Amino acid sequence: MSTATVLKTETEADVSWQTLCIKSDLVAFSGVAAWIETAEGPAQVALFYLPGHETELYAVDHHDPFANANVIARGIVGDLKGQPVVASPIYKQHFRLKDGVCLEDESVQLRTWPVRFEGDQVMIAIEAL
């Protein structure tokens, strides 16, 4: 499993932007797992890079609530009804990348985080510690 290490933290009011990795660490149309520090403690996040799409970068929880395993970054990226999704590699539920909602069971949702590129750096927003 590829992982990224927090390189830099930048704090704004109640949000902290952490550098996770650089753009070349990402795999186009695929996921990469990373650790982040949140106010609730450490968390695993799945980063998805979709070059050429209106939104190119997404971050969702790496933990699959159906399989109870950290595998979402290994899921299959696709498009359902015009929306980017990731299919869990275990039971194949589809999660929308923009909001983490499961298309098969809308009562289940992955946590999402704002992410952005700053030059070649991949930045993620978390609540300030």
How many whole angstroms separate alpha carbon 14 and alpha carbon 58? Answer: 21
Question: Structural domain tally of the chain?
Answer: 1
Residue 56 burial (CB < 10 Å; 0-12/13-18/19+)?
middle
Which residues span the domain enclosing 63? 8-127
101 token code pair: 């909602």
pTM (predicted TM-score): 0.86
Residue 101 φ/ψ, nearest 5 degrees: -70, 135
Task: Assess if residue 98 is contained within a domain.
Answer: yes
What is the residue-level pLDDT of the chain in tens, covering all 129 positions? Answer: 344 444 444 545 678 899 999 999 999 999 999 999 888 899 999 999 999 999 999 999 999 999 999 999 999 999 998 899 999 999 999 999 999 999 999 999 999 999 999 999 999 998 765
Domain-located, residue 81: yes
User: CATH no. for residue 24?
Assistant: 2.102.10.10
Residue 56 lies in a domain: yes
